[in-house]
Amino acid sequence: MICPNCQKEITPDSFFCQWCGTFIPKTQKGRKANIFIRWLALVIDPLIGIGLYFLAVGIFGAISEDMAGVMAVLFPLGYFIWFLTLLRQGMTPGKKILGLQVVRNKSGEIPGFGKMFVREIFGRILSGLFFGLGYFWALFDKNSQAWHDKLAGTVVLKVSK
């Protein structure tokens, strides 16, 4: 099999060209996201929520204790709704900021809410078992798939602009 981007030989069962990182099923979609940027997106997700929570509660708390209490309840609900909305697009808040997108490994289509929910909630728990072995798996997998990617049949792309 030949990579449509760099014209080099690639292994037949790869989703990415090992030479240039192009996503073979849909070359215009993007390239393979490296492990560091994926890890950074994972770290950013809770930091956004926690940081904005304290900012909102602090600002409204300076106005009134009652408003701080209301924000302490409403803000997590709003953040959760935003998170769920992004899942439908194959993203999380951290992935959106860093220009990453989760796609189906064979077609390049957005996985949809159900697959993303399974991947982000249950799959992340699975990947975290055994001292995070499922996350480290992506370091050695030819398609950089962690266990939660394999479970959902997805890969992560650095999206083309």
Question: pLDDT digit string (tens) for 8-37?
Answer: 999 888 999 999 999 999 989 999 999 999
50: pLDDT strictly greater than 80: yes
Its pTM surpasses 0.85: yes
73: pLDDT strictly greater than 90: no
56: pLDDT strictly greater than 90: no
d(CA 69, CA 49): 17
Bridge-based pairing of strands 30-32 and 100-104 is unpaired
Q: What pLDDT does residue 40 have?
A: 96
Q: What pLDDT does residue 24 have?
A: 92
160: pLDDT strictly greater than 80: no
Cβ atoms of residues 95 and 110 within 8 Å: no
Across the chain, mean pLDDT equals: 92
Residue 61 confidence class, pLDDT cut points 50, 70, 90: confident
Question: pLDDT digit string (tens) for 138-151?
Answer: 999 989 999 999 99
Provide the token pair at 92. Answer: 């999380």
161: pLDDT strictly greater than 80: no
Q: What is the mean pLDDT of residues 39-64?
A: 90
- Contacts for 143 with CB less than 8 Å, ≥ 6 apart: 14, 15, 16, 32, 105, 155
The full set of domain ranges for the chain reads 34-159
Question: pLDDT digit string (tens) for 103-149?
Answer: 999 999 999 999 999 999 899 999 999 999 999 999 999 899 999 99
Question: pLDDT digit string (tens) for 88-104?
Answer: 999 999 999 999 999 99
Cβ atoms of residues 108 and 26 within 8 Å: yes
Kindly report the three-state secondary structure assignment for every residue of the chain. Answer: CECCCCCCECCCCCCECCCCCEECCCCCCEEECCHHHHHHHHHHHHHHHHHHHHHHHHHHHHHCHHHHHHHHHHHHHHHHHHHHHHHCCCCCHHHHHHCEEEEECCCCCCCCHHHHHHHHHHHHHHHHHHHHHHHHHHHHCCCCCCHHHHHHCEEEEEECC
